[in-house]
Structure 1
Amino acid sequence: MSIVGMDAEISSGVVVVVDVIRAFTTAAVAFERGVRDIACAASLDLGRELRRRYPDRLLAGESRGLKPVDYDFGNSPFEMSMAQVDGKRLIQATSNGTVGLGRCLEPTALLAASARNVSATARWVRANHGGEPWTILCTGRTEEDWACARHLSDLLQGVEPERERLVAGVMDGVAERSRSFAHRPVADRVDLSVDLPFCCDVDRSAFAMVGEIRDDHVVLTKVPA
């Protein structure tokens, strides 16, 4: 049982990939809006290739936090909360979260999580793989993913963590990211203020996001938990 960063070697066991700001918060909101499944790509170009293979899918993602011009949606839970996606299928490509999913080669089970579905993720793992070794992979370097991972680790071990500490960790992560964005040219800055309420909405989503590994991508589905 461990919490690791993106430089760790991961080959087996239950793996939960965490990305709070913003990939798996956006994915959770997409499922809340009625999306059927999400094909997660480890690069923008693979996302485009998947779109060519599956032209019925909508394309969501970011480069340096910003929506690519040829994508249908950015990596924003706020934007996704207003999207007409009921019954649709998505492709998602992001800098961290979807890359992290692609690093897990032979897991017993693979899940995506954010603060929005952290307790449901723990319930699913304990119900379906209780007693098996697990690894929580933090895809970002800022505090929010590590705070979510610690929260999830406590839940998996039967400890009831404080929601307030998780929210504080997400707020710290947003502040860290906002400071880094401030050094960019104005056109390249990312405004996280509209996404912050979604990222901090702990346990809004009562489902796990379970991954199925394909040849070159991972498909997430919503599983009630």
Structure 2
Amino acid sequence: MHINIRHLVEGAREAKGTVIIIDVLRAFSTACYAINKGIETIIPVGDIDLAYQLKEANPDYLLTGERHERKPEGFDFGNSPTHINDAAITAKTMVQTTSSGTQGIANAINADEIITGSFVNAGAIINYIRKTNPKEVSLVCMGFACSYPTAEDTLCAEYIKNELEGQPNDFATMVQKIKETDGARFFDPATEDWSPESDFHLCMDLNRFDFILKVEKVGDLNYLRKLKI
């Protein structure tokens, strides 16, 4: 098994084999919490106009995501796992568009298969890769708004790679490093409305979920489906 770590949109476009699109803070952590709350299908889209169109055509869909970290006008939820986790969710389908994670899915054009990546289901991702034993694994770190690499995504990729290669991990040290760098914004009271501190802790809850989210393409749309491991 050959394991690569790649970054940003360019990395997504170059990625081959089993591709894990990583967005820890917060898209693919939020997606797991949404599935756990009863959402059965997530439609990840890069284009916000398409997200609006899907909601207009399907009013019962949950419309979630962010631009510049904040909830766009007309969305049901932003990109906060806290807000999803604390809400009463009755919808079964969720449309999700974000500045990083969903852009990676849209650009992973050379992948044999795509799954999402975060710490909250890292163990399930690792078990799935061990079970399927692909020749090539690409861990794509989407960073902040696809503009620059971030500690949380890079360290999540390193965590998964280390586990697959039998190398040790120090998760507590990883969390502290993330908290002191790219995760520091979650501890700023000025961002509490859209990026509460609790989001950080929910996204760092290692192996909380025992399932992966795998991309299934149907027509022109991608769907994230839960696959329990």
**TM norm structure 2:** 0.87
Is 1:197 matched with 2:205? no
Q: Which moved more, 1:152-161 or 1:199-208?
A: 152-161
Is 1:13 matched with 2:17? yes
Is 1:145 matched with 2:173? no
CA contact (8 A) 2:69 2:79 kept: yes
Is 1:164 matched with 2:168? no
Shift of the alpha carbon at 1:86?
4.8
CA contact (8 A) 1:116 1:205 kept: yes
Aligned to 1:134: 137
Q: Which moved more, 1:209-218 or 1:113-122?
A: 209-218
| Cα distance in 1 between the residues matched to 2:66 and 2:91 | 23
Aligned mate of 2:182, from 170, 173, 178: 173
Give the direction of change, closer, same or farther, for the CA distance of 1:160–1:50 in structure 2 (3 Å limit): farther
Structure 2: gaps of 5 or more residues = 144-148
Q: Which moved more, 1:215-224 or 1:144-153?
A: 215-224
1:102 aligned counterpart, secondary structure? helix
Amino acid at match of 1:17: I
| Cα distance in 2 between the residues matched to 1:96 and 1:134 | 20
Aligned to 1:125: 129
Aligned to 2:210: 206
Aligned to 2:119: 115
Higher strand share: 2
Amino acid at match of 1:3: I
2:75 aligned counterpart, secondary structure? coil
| Cα distance in 1 between the residues matched to 2:186 and 2:86 | 24
Structure 1: gaps of 5 or more residues = none
Q: Number of paired residues? A: 219
- Compute the RMSD of aligned alpha carbons: 2.3
Is 1:59 matched with 2:63? yes
| Cα distance in 1 between the residues matched to 2:22 and 2:153 | 6
| Cα distance in 2 between the residues matched to 1:152 and 1:13 | 16
- Cα offsets for 1:1-40 (capped at 9, x unmatched): 2111112232531100000111011001111111101000
**TM norm structure 1:** 0.88
1:63 aligned counterpart, secondary structure? coil
